[in-house]
Amino acid sequence: MFNPFANPSYQGSALERLINASPALTIQFSRENVDKFAEAIFKEYPQPLDYFLQATNQTNTLEGKTKEAANAAFPIGIGTQALMLIMSASGMAQFYGSQIDQLKMTNAGAAFALASALAEYAHACNVPVADTQGGYRRYLSGYLTLRDAMESFGWLGP
Amino acid sequence: MAAVEADQKKANPDFSAPKLDAKATSLFRTFVPKSEQAVLSHVAQHLNNVKNTVQLLNLMPGILDTAYLQMALTMPQLFVSGQWSGYSVALYSNGSCTFCGGGAPCRPCESRLVEIALMAQTGSYGGLGGSQPGPAATRAAQILTDAGIDPYRSR
């Protein structure tokens, strides 16, 4: 019978398997993925720099071809940075997961909250790399989910 | 949670837990696919609610939070709130049990889900002593129902 009060352990748990089997772990940092990521942004936001400046109440002082070039380069820069963070987030998830067993000894509630965040992260990233447009779909949201949770829980450093 | 890092630093003063970059996050958030923005907000809100619930549960330490942790570790799919397009948690996928990876039908996992669903009915997982089913119990019942299994058949 399922005993909900048994001593739980992250090691060997279904959550650990889920984190370790996350498709996000397999994404590669490559020009191809950066390009796919940038193309996906272009499709979603055709003038990405203009859109970003507008969203952040800034003014675009560039004009003509310089402005066009900036709009073209901007998503490549985003894709490069985002891909690195997406890749590091999958490693972070493994690291945070490994802390659950230690954390539960002092604060099982916090360990549960951490486990919930990791479950959400793994769920968001549960899609093959080939379907993510270089990580833009789902993996970016997975990263933001994990980061938001860690910030909310006070795990992020200054 | 910073206590974990502090503990590690006792043994290794140079230890630093990996940090997720803060600078670019607001930039990335601006460019989240439109179809995912609502889900992302919902998940963030859900995790914030979890944190607040945990803070309340800490007033009654030991039993409830450990029970929840046990469930989150063994059946993490019950604790996800994100309704990502094209994906929902099902009991079986490609002939395998979603929870343990075993073959279908998986009686142990079915039994666990029934117990979790029933716990909500009896108030054990009603959330702070209430009688409303908790989200994990509700999800367990839904997964069973979707698989054609009546979670309350034994009542």
Nearest CA in chain A to B16: A157
Mean pLDDT of A88-109: 89
Within a domain: residue A17?
no
Within a domain: residue A21?
A: no
Q: Residue A55 corresponds to which amino acid? A: A
Q: What is the pLDDT of residue B128?
A: 39
The whole-number average pLDDT for the span B107-135 is 67
Query: Which of A106, A112, A148 is the best substitution to test chain B (most B C-beta atoms within 10 A)?
Result: A112
Predicted pLDDT of residue A152: 86
Tell me if A85 and B24 make a contact (CB, 8 A cut-off): yes
Query: Does B95 touch chain A if contact means CB atoms closer than 8 Å?
Result: no
Q: Which residue of A123, A126, A131 to mutate against B (max B Cβ within 10 Å)?
A: A123
Q: Which amino acid is at B24?
A: A
A71-75, B13-17, B130-134, B149-153: segment of lowest average pLDDT: B130-134
CA angle in degrees (0–180, nearest 5) for B37-B48-B84: 35
When divided into structural domains, chain A yields a total of: 1
Domain with A101, as residue range(s), is: 27-152
Q: How far B23 CA sits from the closest chain A CA (Å)?
A: 11
d(CA B92, CA B100): 10
A93 touches chain B (CB under 8 A): no
DSSP state letters, chain A: ---TTS---STT-HHHHHHHT-GGGG----HHHHHHHHHHHHHH-SSHHHHHHHHTT------HHHHHHHHHHHHHHHHHHHHHHHHHHHHHHHHHHHTHHHHHHH-HHHHHHHHHHHHHHHHHT-S-GGGSTTTTTTHHHHHHHHHHHHHHTT-S--
Chain B: residue whose CA lies nearest to A142:
B40
User: What integer is the mean pLDDT of B43-58?
Assistant: 84
Task: Give ∠ CA B99-A117-B53 in degrees, rounded to 5.
Answer: 105
A151 — pLDDT class (breaks 50, 70, 90): confident
Query: A61 or B111: whose pLDDT is higher?
Result: B111
Q: How confident is the model at residue A72 (pLDDT cuts 50, 70, 90)?
A: confident
Torsions phi, psi of B92, nearest 5? -125, 145
> Looking at residue A145, what is its pLDDT?
95
Q: Is residue A122 part of a domain?
A: yes
3-state secondary structure B51-80: HHHHHHHCCCCCHHHHHHHHHHHHCHHHHC
Structure confidence at residue B6 (pLDDT):
65
Query: What mean pLDDT do residues B129-139 have?
Result: 65
Residue B93's contacts (CB-CB under 8 Å, 6 or more residues apart) are none
- From chain A, pick out residues whose CB is under 8 angstroms from the CB of B30: 51-52, 55-56
Task: Give the mean pLDDT of B112-133.
Answer: 61
Give the pLDDT band of residue A121 (cuts 50, 70, 90). Answer: very high
Closest residue of A to B23, CA-based?
A81
User: pLDDT-derived band of residue A3, with 50, 70 and 90 as boundaries?
Assistant: low
Tens-digit pLDDT profile for residues B56-92: 766 666 666 677 888 899 999 998 888 888 777 889 9
Q: Which of B108, B73, B76, B102 minimizes the C-alpha distance to B89? A: B76
Asked whether residue B8 carries a pLDDT value surpassing 70, the answer given is: no
Residues 62-81 of A with CB under 8 A from B: 75, 78, 81
- Pairing state of beta strands B96-97 and B92-93? antiparallel
More confident residue, B124 or A143: A143
Instruction: Please indicate, yes or no, if residue A44 is contained in any of the structural domains.
Output: yes
Q: Which of residues 5-34 of A touch B (CB under 8 A)?
A: 5-10, 13-18
Q: Give the whole-angstrom CA distance, residue B77 versus residue B83.
A: 12
Residue A136 reports pLDDT greater than 80 = yes
Nearest by CB: A18 against B27, B70, B76: B76
Tell the residue number behind the tokens 């005993």, with chain if given: A3
Q: Give the DSSP H/E element, type plus range, for residue B96.
A: strand B96-97
Residue B132, pLDDT score: 46
- The answer to whether the CB atoms of B69 and A156 lie below 8 A apart is no
Predicted pLDDT of residue A13: 93
pLDDT tops 60 at residue B130: no
pLDDT at A93 over 70: yes
Output the pLDDT for position B115: 87
B101-128: average pLDDT: 75
A42 touches chain B (CB under 8 A): no
pLDDT at B83: 85
Residue A105 located in a structural domain: yes
Q: Does residue A4 sit within a domain?
A: no
Question: What would the two tokens of residue A68 be?
Answer: 């066009």
Considering chain A, what percentage of its residues have pLDDT values greater than 70?
94
Residue A103 placed within a domain: yes
Mean pLDDT (chain A, rounded): 88
Flag whether A13 is in a domain. no
Q: What is the pLDDT of residue A157?
A: 53
Chain CA centroid to CA B83, Å? 13
Residues constituting chain B? 155
* Contact map slice: B 34-93 vs A, CB within 8 A: 34, 36, 39-40, 43-44, 46-48, 50-51, 54-55, 57-58, 61-63, 65-77, 79-82, 84, 87, 89
